Amino acid sequence: MSQLNFPVSSINVLFDIDGTLTDDVASPQIDSRYVMGNALFELFAEHLYKTGINREQASEALHKYSEKNKYWDYNDFVKEFRIQEPDIWKELSNWHQQNLRIFEDGKSLANRLFKQGFPLHIVSNNPYHGCLLKLEAAGLGTLQGSELFDRIFCSNHQQGQKHDLRFWERVISSSGFDPAHTVIIGNNLHEDYEVPGQMGFHSSYIVDREKSISVPSRSDSGLHIVHSLLEVEFKIKNASFNLIHN
């Protein structure tokens, strides 16, 4: 493959996490059988049991706090319920190490684009520390942050989820990015293409590893469905080249 040599600062790259960089491999994180429907809250609940309350009481207390603090992050619960640190963070990290699948094509793409100078960012439905836990498991960051990703646009910071256009409006307003010079890499046609497409993003690269996505009848040139993220590197380099020279 030929190499294109040119400055790459003309384009920002937004990476989704779930289904793009990582995914559940064994027990799903989100499931109704868990406290708060989230396996990580089982770990919080276990710490609350030690204070003498039962499962129902722990679930009620955690749920009540989540209603009061709608745009929560995991560290909010750690502080509110005085859960022992650093033990809880080690347990949360271990859960991710044991239960996440890492997509090597996504990890490789992120590392290669970073080395070539592309400004990379995360855009995710996870809260901030949820993003860091998953990036840590993938070897793309730590609980202190990520060298690869400059900004993390997440549920608690953007106050919502990616299916809501207001989420994307806040991404643009808080970053100052020009949507026309920003690409999205994800796995969800609706959240990573159809909704943000209303904001005028340059393009979306949707990975369909299982070959199960039907291409919309009214898609535009900004939609690229690929079966591996290894296909994306040259496309993004070419997009940046065209932005610079057109």
In order along its 246 residues, the chain shows pLDDT tens digits of 334 444 445 799 999 999 999 999 877 999 999 999 999 999 999 999 999 999 999 999 999 999 999 999 999 999 999 999 999 999 999 999 999 999 999 999 999 999 999 999 999 999 999 999 999 999 999 999 999 999 999 999 999 999 999 999 999 999 999 999 999 999 999 999 999 999 999 999 999 999 998 877 666 779 999 999 999 999 999 888 888 877
From CA 23, how far away is CA 28, in angstroms rounded?
9
pLDDT of the residue at 1? 34
Angle between helices 128-137 and 87-99 (to 10 degrees): 60
pLDDT of the residue at 9? 54
pLDDT of the residue at 216? 75
Residue with tokens 């040119």: 6
pLDDT of the residue at 26? 73
